[in-house]
Amino acid sequence: MSDLEVTSVQNARAKGWASLLDKKHRDRSGQFLVEGIHLVKEALECGAQVETIVYDGERGLPLELQQLPALIAFPELLVSASTVVMAKCTGTDSPPPVFAVVAKPVVEETALFREQSLVVVLDGVRDPGNVGTIIRSADAVGADAVVLGRGCVDLYNPKTVRSTMGSLFHLPVIEADLLELLPKAQERGIRLAATSLQSAVSCYDCDWTSATWLLMGSESDGLSPEVLELADQSVIIPIRGRAESLNVAMAATVILYEALRQRG
């Protein structure tokens, strides 16, 4: 185990870790924070490029991480920190016992264009909890990827990362300009199905067995007119009760599971 210890929030490394709570520093460094035992374990086991693992020296390295092959092979990743440093560098009210600094993955667009691809495309979805839940649902049904378009919350916002519960490391998640990307998909024969209240058919009457991308917008604004105009089909989730609508994460999950059911 590393003997390196960081006890002061004025330490240069501590300042660097804390700066990753801000998007501009994540963008500049190409790094982001992963907080908590579960997420750090997922990052290590999924082969993410983990650059540093910082644990609360007073509590010790969590048992769940001690026997992981990656840490046995690379003990130099480990840094002990004081509780005050842990609190300074993480985004939760109660500091976790461990966090990691991870390099942003380079994801190629080719991951989107697999045969019979099922991809979720988000346009202007700003709530980190919703985006994280959609990534989890896409992972659960075996979707090929998730795309975040303009106006979406930053994928590497600590709240978004936490809400993915590790699914961020299980499937490609790409940030892209939808007005450039969606026509490329159509050129390859991929159908674009948009959630909309206008001229829409039930999601249960749609064919989800061929290559299809599901386009979803924010709860307040829906899809932008430019993205909606590119859609090949509009779909809606039938509602029999008095609820006006489902939130975007619930709606995405319902449709994704209908796609999974049809694909067997």
Tell whether 79 and 188 lie within a shared domain.
no
Which tens digits make up the pLDDT trace of 5-26? 999 999 999 999 999 999 999 9
Instruction: Please give the tally of structural domains in the chain.
Output: 2
Q: Are 163 and 184 in contact, with CB atoms under 8 Å apart?
A: no
Domain with residue 194: its CATH number is 3.40.1280.10
Tell whether 134 and 54 lie within a shared domain.
no
Q: Which among 77, 103, 129 is the end of a domain?
A: 103
Q: Are 170 and 46 in contact, with CB atoms under 8 Å apart?
A: yes
Give the model's pLDDT for residue 110: 86
Q: Cα dihedral sign for 13, 169, 174, 193?
A: negative
Tell whether 56 and 184 lie within a shared domain.
no
Tell whether 154 and 257 lie within a shared domain.
yes
Q: Which two tokens mark 208?
A: 């989800």
Tell whether 152 and 182 lie within a shared domain.
yes
Tell whether 10 and 120 lie within a shared domain.
no
Average pLDDT for residues 154-169, to the nearest whole number? Answer: 96
Tell whether 207 and 88 lie within a shared domain.
no
Q: Are 249 and 133 in contact, with CB atoms under 8 Å apart?
A: yes
Percentage of the chain modeled with pLDDT above 90: 84
Q: Which among 56, 88, 103 is the end of a domain?
A: 103
Domain with residue 71: its CATH number is 3.30.1330.30
What pTM did the predictor assign?
0.94
Q: Which domain holds residue 38?
A: 5-103
Give the model's pLDDT for residue 198: 75
CA atoms within 13 A on the CB side of 259: 27
Tell whether 97 and 123 lie within a shared domain.
no
Q: d(Cα 20, Cα 40) in Å, to the nearest integer?
A: 16
Q: d(Cα 186, Cα 168) in Å, to the nearest integer?
A: 26
Tell whether 58 and 136 lie within a shared domain.
no
Question: 197 versus 251: which is more confidently predicted?
Answer: 251
| 3-state SS, one letter per residue, for the chain | CCCCEECCCCCHHHHHHHHCCCHHHHHHHCEEEEECHHHHHHHHHCCCCEEEEEEECCCCCCHHHHCCHHHHHCHHHEEEECHHHHHHCCCCCCCCCEEEEEECCCCCHHHHHCCCCEEEEEECCCCHHHHHHHHHHHHHHCCCEEEECCCCCCCCCHHHHHHCCCHHHCCCEEECCHHHHHHHHHHCCCEEEEECCCCCEEHHHCCCCCCEEEEEEECCCECCHHHHHHCCEEEECCCCCCCCCCCHHHHHHHHHHHHHHHHC
Q: d(Cα 62, Cα 51) in Å, to the nearest integer?
A: 18
Q: Are 249 and 242 in contact, with CB atoms under 8 Å apart?
A: no
Give the model's pLDDT for residue 1: 41
Q: Are 139 and 256 in contact, with CB atoms under 8 Å apart?
A: no
Tell whether 63 and 126 lie within a shared domain.
no
Tell whether 82 and 191 lie within a shared domain.
no
Q: d(Cα 177, Cα 164) in Å, to the nearest integer?
A: 22
Which tens digits make up the pLDDT trace of 178-210? 999 999 999 999 999 999 877 689 999 999 999
Which tens digits make up the pLDDT trace of 101-130? 999 999 888 889 988 999 999 999 999 999
Q: Which among 103, 129, 149 is the end of a domain?
A: 103
135 backbone dihedrals φ, ψ, rounded to 5°: -60, -40
Which tens digits make up the pLDDT trace of 42-84? 999 999 999 999 999 999 999 999 989 988 888 899 999 999 9
Give the model's pLDDT for residue 220: 83
Tell whether 44 and 122 lie within a shared domain.
no
Give the model's pLDDT for residue 11: 95
Average pLDDT for residues 80-96, to the nearest whole number? Answer: 92
